[in-house]
Amino acid sequence: MKNQAQRKERIGIVGAGIAGLASAVRLASRGHEVEVFEANPYPGGKLSQFELQGYRFDAGPSLFTMPQYVDELFRIAGASPQGRFAYERLPVVCHYFWEDGTQLLAHGDRDAFGQEVEEKLGVPAQRVASALDDSAHKYELTGRIFLEKSLHKLNTWTNWKVAKAMMKIPGLDLFTSMNRVNERNLKHPKLVQLFNRFATYNGSNPYKAPGLLSIIPHFEHQIGAYFPKGGMNAITQAVYELAREKGVRFHFEQPVERIQVEDGRARGLQVNGELHRYDRVVSNMDVFFTYKKLLPDQPHPKRTLSQQKSTSALIFYWGIKRQFPELGLHNILFSEDYRTEFDHLENGKIYEDPTVYINITQKLEPGDAPEGHENWFTMINVPYDDGQEWDELIGWARERIIEKVSRMLGADIRALITCEEILEPRTIQSRTASHLGSLYGTSSNNRTAAFMRHANFSSRIKNLYFCGGSVHPGGGIPLCMLSAKIVDEIIHENQN
């Protein structure tokens, strides 16, 4: 990428989530004058942190994959991450637990993972290797095309690589569910459940989501899962500081009130009643609220905005006054009936035996908790906010989680909790402007979902662009970073 744009422009960005930050770095590195307006007093959106009674918690995303997308920002900016952003590959990606006492370590090395599965579940290691080969094949065939390029530009579809991929559609499992693919490839119910879990990475249901989503294990078990030194918030801070070095100006606690549109073009941002004029505008705000709040007088893409939302989360941030050597950085305590759990989520309910995820950064960052203690990010998947009685549900779910974790770990967790903070669908929406508390925008529960996500640009309003988890290619840190890359490339194309 050239460091200087053909024409220097003023660009305003709505929101300092990770996609907004990455967009700012890319656009400023081309020589543009970039300003970012953020409603919160801090950058990062969901990818932020907080402290509570001596414990440090990452507030949102806890899994780091595809670190090359962060490294790429440093390269584009003509800088080096050395000394400013470091990460390590995890030798064990996740610790898995079942009610019958089965425990399994998902090693980062695929051969070690296969051997573990063979020893603990009696499934031939080759079966795991074949499933991961299938995952890698699908990613190489489609992922680089459909995740790194706009699906709404003609030049994407006229590329010969796309034509080659389209000829392979029958083998991409678009017309079957992720669960059926995993049953076909893995057969053992516990291993199928483990691989079905990857549907939750974009808030989807493995019994409905297309089989193409079976590419996700490739990211974690072959490209690798990582941990950034200093915790997940270190990603935000690294990209934020890089943007500042490139001259990006940030305005915190400055919510945008309106995107100014004149003669069919985005011309600026209204903040505190004042109009700031720009040549182009990029919204990192949830696309639903971008239209409803910032573009109230413009035509709305009703079909896109009315799609089924992804799941949300209920998170208990607990200080725990004991250490558990059997737990690692990432831990999953599975439900005994996964299908019923997802049926409940589809119907706007929480299952009485939810799958529990526990993230403990203290395992790699001892300073994240007092000596002899652990910081537990304890999460279950819950439906998006559809008017449920959340105050009652949260208390009920808390009891179910404590009972389950205490039973499976053989310890009274309730007595070990020293402090608590809660994040739930209503506060997810209020803090991060995620519509209905949905973590990933729309769900991926049908084979056309990827094509139904909002484009990274407006087809009706010139010079208006969109990045972040609510638009193409989707939610999660890697895809948000790719949305910024797509926006940057579209703006550059439009200049030429």
In-domain check, residue 326? no
Q: Output the pTM of the full model.
A: 0.93
What is the pLDDT, as a whole number, of residue 161?
A: 63
Strand intervals (E) in 42-157: 49-52, 55-58, 64-65, 87-89, 92-97, 103-107
Closest CA to 167 of 135, 142, 150: 142
Q: If DSSP states are collapsed to H, E and C, what string results for 405-416?
A: HHHHHCCCCHHH
How far apart are alpha carbons 118 and 125 in whole angstroms? 5
Q: Side chain identity at 110, as an amino acid letter?
A: R
Closest CA to 440 of 68, 46, 152: 46
Q: Side chain identity at 174, as an amino acid letter?
A: L
In-domain check, residue 304? no
How many domains is the chain built from? Answer: 1
How far apart are alpha carbons 266 and 13 in whole angstroms? 12
What b/e sequence results for 103-135 when a residue is b if at least 16 CB atoms lie within 10 Å of its CB, and e otherwise? ebbbbbbbeebbebbeeebebebebbeebbebb
CB 455 within 8 A of CB 471: yes
In-domain check, residue 84? no
Task: Count CA atoms within 13 Å of residue 205 on its CB side.
Answer: 20
Residue with tokens 């069919």: 264
Closest CA to 422 of 327, 315, 281, 331: 315
User: Who contacts 66 (Cβ-Cβ below 8 Å, separation ≥6)?
Assistant: 219, 223, 477, 478, 481
Q: Is the peptide bond before 473 cis (omega within 30 degrees of 0)?
A: yes
In-domain check, residue 43? no
Q: Show the domain range for 206.
A: 127-221
Positions of the chain with pLDDT lower than 50, given as ranges: 1-5, 157
Q: Which long-range contacts (CB under 8 A, 24 or more apart) does 56-60 make?
A: 56/231, 56/361, 56/365, 56/367, 56/368, 56/369, 56/375, 57/317, 57/361, 57/368, 57/375, 57/377, 57/421, 58/231, 58/232, 58/233, 58/359, 58/361, 58/377, 59/233, 59/423, 60/232
User: Who contacts 338 (Cβ-Cβ below 8 Å, separation ≥6)?
Assistant: 193, 196, 206, 355
User: Who contacts 381 (Cβ-Cβ below 8 Å, separation ≥6)?
Assistant: 200, 203, 311, 312, 313, 341, 345, 354, 355
SS3 of residue 261 by DSSP: strand
CA–CA–CA angle 89, 90, 95 (5° rounding): 165
In-domain check, residue 176? yes
Q: Side chain identity at 118, as an amino acid letter?
A: E
Helix (H) / strand (E) element for 390: namely helix 390-409
Integer Rg of the chain from CA: 22
How far apart are alpha carbons 318 and 373 in whole angstroms? 10
In-domain check, residue 31? no
137 pairs with which residues across the strands?
none
From residue 153, alpha-carbon distances to 191, 236, 322, 442, 458 in Å are 39, 30, 54, 21, 12
In-domain check, residue 195? yes
How far apart are alpha carbons 21 and 24 in whole angstroms? 5
In-domain check, residue 151? yes
Closest CA to 255 of 26, 426, 428, 430: 430
What is the pLDDT, as a whole number, of residue 2?
A: 43
